[in-house]
Structure 1
Amino acid sequence: MMETVRTEKKDRLRRMKSREAIGLALEGDWEQAVEVNREVLRLFPDDVEALNRLGKAFMELGRYSGARSAFESAARISPYNSIAKKNLERLLHLEETARPPKQGKVVSPYLFIEERGKSCMTALEKPAGLETLGRMAAGDSVELRAKEHMLLVENQQGDYLGQVEPKLGMRLTRLMRGGNQYEAAIISVNPQDVSVIILETYRHQDTRGICSFPTDRRDERRKAYWTDALLRYDVDSDLDEDEAQVVDWRESYGDSVELTEDQEPAESLFAAKGARSGAEDDEE
């Protein structure tokens, strides 16, 4: 009986510390995330999720030897763990760096859920090289920068990541110059490509009748299962499967970039899956 009580207490502590670690990551506090995940591992040395979270935190801090050790431990315990394997491959191309830790926060996925006509996923064209993409992860906030008729995507340090598909980029560039504001975050990244989600955060009164992301009702079928992955923040490689769900912008929006006012507002691209319950399920 006493043993059962002790086990239940330890399990509750693990869940509590896991939630704390996830919260710290979403705030971008990677130093403290390292410490909390280490606390979990002192009690549960074979906790693969904690090892992956620890590796992720080390990567964000540029401490690649620590990250490699954490992911190698996860891979030994769970040889088929795709998270550990993917990040070990990424680390092969990264070196220890004196570069300061990223100051940008991991974006809360709930910013991008159920925004009618205000959200869009897209795969970037002309992606950056492995040295740059290797430092990025799902959930990282990125910057949009208009350059002539192009819309470039950069990380928080100003490094080029890729270019938004020309027709979408031209449309958004024109809307940005009209006063609209947008935020963006990475939803998947690998050595060859990177996909982002773009959210309209402010619509200027001069563009109030113009939908940023017009589409058709086929997009009701496209569900953003990546939401749960961003909440965990430790499962970047799980997002590889969403390549089939990253929509070619031209497929749904057509070739026109005219900013007409009679376009049908986009249906929600994303479906919430129960925020609190989903996060707790992931931690367990």
Structure 2
Amino acid sequence: METLASLMALGEADTTTRQRRQLAEAAIAHATRGEWEDAVTANRELLELGPDIDANNRLGKALAELGRHAEALEAYEQALERDATNRIAQRNIERLRVLMAAKRPAANGKRRPEKAPATLFIEEMGKTGRARLINLAAPSVLAPLSAGDAITLEVDGDDLVAKVGKASIGSVEPRIAARLLKLIAGGNRYDAAITTIHEAGGELQIMIREVFTHPANFGKVSFPTQGASGPGIRPYIKGSALRYDDEDEVEEADEDSEEVEELDTTLPEYSSEPELEEELVEEP
């Protein structure tokens, strides 16, 4: 009888483990598709089976995306109660408190910044590139932003300013801006989106895509590459438009940032040292 009872207990444990795994997979899938209500449901069902720090963090993310900041804060605080060193919970609690203290809409005047279309994140040699923003806005302006948010680029004298709605969030690093400013003056147009934003506000990177080439700029490359090889167009990310940024149990490569997978496109890094302005590269 004891053996039978033990076997039954093992069977129940296996069933619960399988349920937890299926619910976790469903929660992640809903999140990557932007189905935040379904993500909330899946994570709450998972938590009914027992404590789960990752589920608390995912629940907080989903609630935050829905603008339910008080509930999101509670979910992250529950994760922190179970693990006082959990970085995901720590940084999102700080971020939510900034948001709630600001008591104002997101930078574009809507509940959440708009997301960039998935097509922006398809790398095309010479047409797409990555750049760092400098002269970043105050933390209260950056707090509502996350990887994948669409931004606009506007010329302001010698600067190429990144904006969300009417709010400036920073300027494109000078070496890249100098090239794009010439092409924009010639009639080119560009779309952009955030790829990496550090919660502490120390770094913000964007993806830029050339969406219109003026005939006057024919043969001029927006983003020259070094040692490029292979096909000219390939997917920027796999499976979805954006990585679910709080899934650090899948990849903990950078705990301090939200980001989509990095481009292979090689761009010169920003340096504080003065440099000579580069000439536009002509295609052969």
Q: TM-score, normalised by structure 2?
A: 0.70
The equivalent of 1:79 in structure 2 is 84
One of 211, 225, 233 as aligned partner of 2:221: 211
Contact kept? 1:107, 1:185, Cα under 8 Å: no
One of 48, 51, 68 as aligned partner of 2:53: 48
Supply the AA of the counterpart residue of 2:92: N
CA spacing shift, 1:65–1:194, aligned 2, 3 Å: same
Structure 1 unaligned residues grouped into runs of 5+: 25-31, 221-225, 264-284
Does 2:238 correspond to 1:238?
Answer: no
SS in 2 for 1:238: coil
Matches within 5 A, 1:177-256: 177-189=185-197, 190=199, 191-217=201-227, 230-234=242-246, 238=255, 240=257, 248-249=269-270, 255-256=276-277
CA spacing shift, 1:174–1:60, aligned 2, 3 Å: farther
Does 2:134 correspond to 1:125?
Answer: yes
Contact kept? 2:127, 2:223, Cα under 8 Å: yes
Partners of 1:257 and 1:40 lie apart in 2 by: 51
CA spacing shift, 1:166–1:103, aligned 2, 3 Å: closer
Q: TM-score, normalised by structure 1?
A: 0.70
Does 2:73 correspond to 1:68?
Answer: yes
CA spacing shift, 1:216–1:255, aligned 2, 3 Å: farther
CA spacing shift, 1:193–1:9, aligned 2, 3 Å: closer
Write out per-residue CA displacement over residues 173-195 of structure 1, whole angstroms, 9 at most, x where no aligned residue.
22123332322221222323322
- Offset at residue 20 of structure 1 (A): 1.7
Question: Which structure shows the higher helix fraction?
Answer: 1
CA spacing shift, 1:218–1:84, aligned 2, 3 Å: farther
Contact kept? 1:120, 1:197, Cα under 8 Å: yes
The equivalent of 1:280 in structure 2 is none
CA spacing shift, 1:89–1:120, aligned 2, 3 Å: same
CA spacing shift, 1:50–1:143, aligned 2, 3 Å: farther
Does 2:48 correspond to 1:39?
Answer: no
Structure 2 unaligned residues grouped into runs of 5+: 1-7, 231-235, 249-253
Matches within 5 A, 1:112-191: 112-155=121-164, 157-189=165-197, 190=199, 191=201
Task: State the number of aligned residues.
Answer: 246
RMSD over aligned CA atoms reads: 3.6
CA spacing shift, 1:240–1:126, aligned 2, 3 Å: same
Rg larger for:
2
SS in 1 for 2:33: helix
Write out per-residue CA displacement over residues 214-256 of structure 1, whole angstroms, 9 at most, x where no aligned residue.
2423999xxxxx958941132596364999x9951469xx733
Question: Which structure shows the higher strand fraction?
Answer: 2
Does 2:278 correspond to 1:257?
Answer: yes
CA spacing shift, 1:56–1:234, aligned 2, 3 Å: same
The equivalent of 2:233 in structure 1 is none
Partners of 1:193 and 1:235 lie apart in 2 by: 20
Partners of 2:247 and 2:170 lie apart in 1 by: 22
Contact kept? 1:195, 1:246, Cα under 8 Å: no
Identity of aligned residues (%): 31
Partners of 1:212 and 1:250 lie apart in 2 by: 20
Supply the AA of the counterpart residue of 2:187: G
Contact kept? 2:43, 2:55, Cα under 8 Å: yes
